[in-house]
Structure 1
Amino acid sequence: MKKINTNAFLFDGKGKFSIKKTDTKVKDYYENKEDYEVSLSEMQKKMDDLQDKMFAHNRYGLLVVFQAPDAAGKDGTLKAVFSGVNPQGMRFYSFKKPTDTELEHDFLWRTNMQLPERGTITVFNRSYYEEVLVVKVHPEILLNSQKLPTENTSDLEKVWKHRYEDISNLEKYLFRNGIPTIKFFLNVSKAEQAERLIERIEDPTKNWKFQVQDVKEREFWNDYQNAYEEAINATASESCPWYVIPADDKKNMRLIVAQIIIEHLEKFNMNYPKSDAIRQKELKNLISVINEQELS
């Protein structure tokens, strides 16, 4: 596998992000299917080792957020990248349309309930960013369903500005508590999305993935592109960066995502807990106890 320069996909607030200038496809990092499978397997093993140390160290947590248009490959990427990582230290949450109970709370409540525990990696398949993406493209959701006081929704631009600030403050708060956030935007082209949606219709085994609403939402493609661009520019920071991943080739996308997560885990100052001399003596004495049990 060719070396992946993950900085090529990094947006940390130091420069302006333009979605039109961002690639949806790059040259392959793998030579062939076998090279891809071997490389991904090695990454899975490395990630599992790092997560195991993270779980034992029990000081850090990691929040990994995935956002993308429909059919960009989120589900398949999560399955491929995290396969083989010990589920004891993994949490996955998929956020869909808010329930009536969730709508009775502030917009961050339902995701705050699922934030990472120390020692774990928590993955959000969609997240609080839906509140400045879907809701921004369809402001009637905000006005008709979210039960905000009317004086709080009189200026929609101010609503989005405040939500960007609230999201950024949450991520800064988590970072300061040893729980950084990595955010992935899977950047698929409109043409590739069309092919994948048609495939879901033509393949009976994929019909269950297809939603009529997916086609209706394509009519708002440009609105969503603008919403992603604004959200990334408003919330990217050095401590909580965005990574914009070319998503037209699923294998490339998965390798890039896996490499980025590994690099962030490697930044943690982690060690397996060490036992003191008294504990070591106690443990060694137990060896003789175990041996005696075998003889009895």
Structure 2
Amino acid sequence: MNVNKYRIEGNKQLKLRDYSPSEKHDYSEKELLEKLIPESIDRLKELHWRLHAEEKKGIVVVLQAMDAAGKDEAISYIFSNLTAQGLKTTSFQKPSDSEQKHDYLWRIHKALPARGQIGILNRSHYEEVIAPRVHDLLKEESVPDEKEKEETWAVRYRQINDFERYLTENGFEVVKFFFHMSKKEQKERLLERMKNPKKNWEFSFSDVEERKHWDSYQDIFEDMLNHTSTEYAPWHILPADDEWYSRYIISEVMNKCLEKIDPQFPEISQENKEKLDKYIKLLENEEN
């Protein structure tokens, strides 16, 4: 798979309407489920083991989308296969009273991975340039000094880019996925959650309320992608109406990122190797 097809170059001014939420591809669902995704995840598991063992670098994964676009399912079907010790997952909701007393990136720091970990942000710092803008929730104390309210978003875009550059320059790759879903597909998924008793727990009444602002969200997503897809922290736009194909893209993008890092299992020193050989013989000769 050519994952670069879904990567947004930093100097490209895109129109979200030019990207289809679904696309024709050469893979059947059976092939994706039984062959391609399992093989891709096996490779991801191996590379993640190396990353965790080496403990030199980490990866920050950003998942951003409208409700029901498939973020949670991507975590369940892909990342849950990885070793738990090397994984950190954080879901972001509306900021708490305590979080609102700090700068808007403050709560993100607690969710960042350690070296040797993949940190998954289910929603992220990008919420702070989306929801407050849709609902006009920006408080006066959040407006940068000597700036008009509407200038805040450009300032935050720059700050987010600087923040992500800081992470990458300090050994933490930033991989971002935008789940591009059609309004029709969201309707079908929300109705399934509402009508199926086993899925009622996944539904929130706010999902339908937020749907009323669909066009505003799409405009803001487009603006966000254009201002924050950089060479060092690019966005990938997923055709999210096709859930399994999107999961395959995610796993392949992650593999490409890890292959670039090329983590290796640490080599034991000669001194410890001799000691290891000694202890191996000690255990082998131990009487049961």
TM range (shorter): over 0.9
Tell me, in whole angstroms, the C-alpha distance in 2 between the residues paired with 1:212 and 1:31: 34
Structure 1 residue 18 and structure 2 residue 26: aligned?
no
Contact 2:32 2:244 in 1 (8 A): no
Distance 1:184 1:35, change over 3 A: closer
Could you tell me which amino acid in structure 1 is paired with residue 218 of structure 2?
A: Q
Please point out which of 235, 250, 259 is paired with 1:242: 235
- Distance verdict in 2 for CA 1:285–1:83, change over 3 Å: same
Query: For residue 135 of structure 2, what is the amino acid of its counterpart?
Result: H
Q: Which residue of 2 aligns with 1:138?
A: 135
* Counterpart contact for 1:45–1:85, Cα < 8 Å: no
Counterpart of 1:6 (choices 3, 8, 11) is 3
- Mark the CA change 1:102 to 1:241 in structure 2 (over 3 Å): closer, same or farther: same
Counterpart in the other structure of 1:224: 217
The 3 A distance-change label for structure 1 pair 177 and 52 is same
Give 1:170's aligned residue: 163
State the partner residue of 1:36: 33
Match of 1:106 among 100, 103, 108: 103
SS in 1 for 2:193: helix
Match of 1:56 among 39, 53, 58: 53
Q: How many residues matched?
A: 288
1:277, distance to aligned residue in structure 2 (A): 1.9
Counterpart of 2:244, as a letter, is K
Secondary structure (helix, strand or coil) at the match of 2:62 reads strand
Q: Which position in structure 2 is the counterpart of 1:266?
A: 259
What SS is found at the alignment partner of 2:237?
Answer: strand
Structure 1: segments with no counterpart, 5+ residues: none
The Cα shift of 1:36 comes to 2.2
Out of 125, 142, 155, which is 1:128 matched to?
A: 125
Q: Secondary structure of 2:112's match?
A: coil
Q: Distance in 2 between matches of 1:248 and 1:151?
A: 38
Using the aligned pairs only, state the percent identity: 36
* Shift >6 Å, 4+ stretches: none
Task: Give the 5 Å matches for 1:191-206.
Answer: 191-206=184-199
SS of 2:172's equivalent in the other structure is: coil
Deviations 1:215-244 (A, max 9, x none): 111111111011111111111111100000
Matched AA of 1:203: N
Return the offset for 1:246.
Answer: 0.4
Q: With structure 1 as the length reference, what TM-score do the two structures score?
A: 0.93
Q: Which runs of 5+ in 2 are unaligned?
A: none
Task: Give TM-score, length-normalised by structure 2.
Answer: 0.95
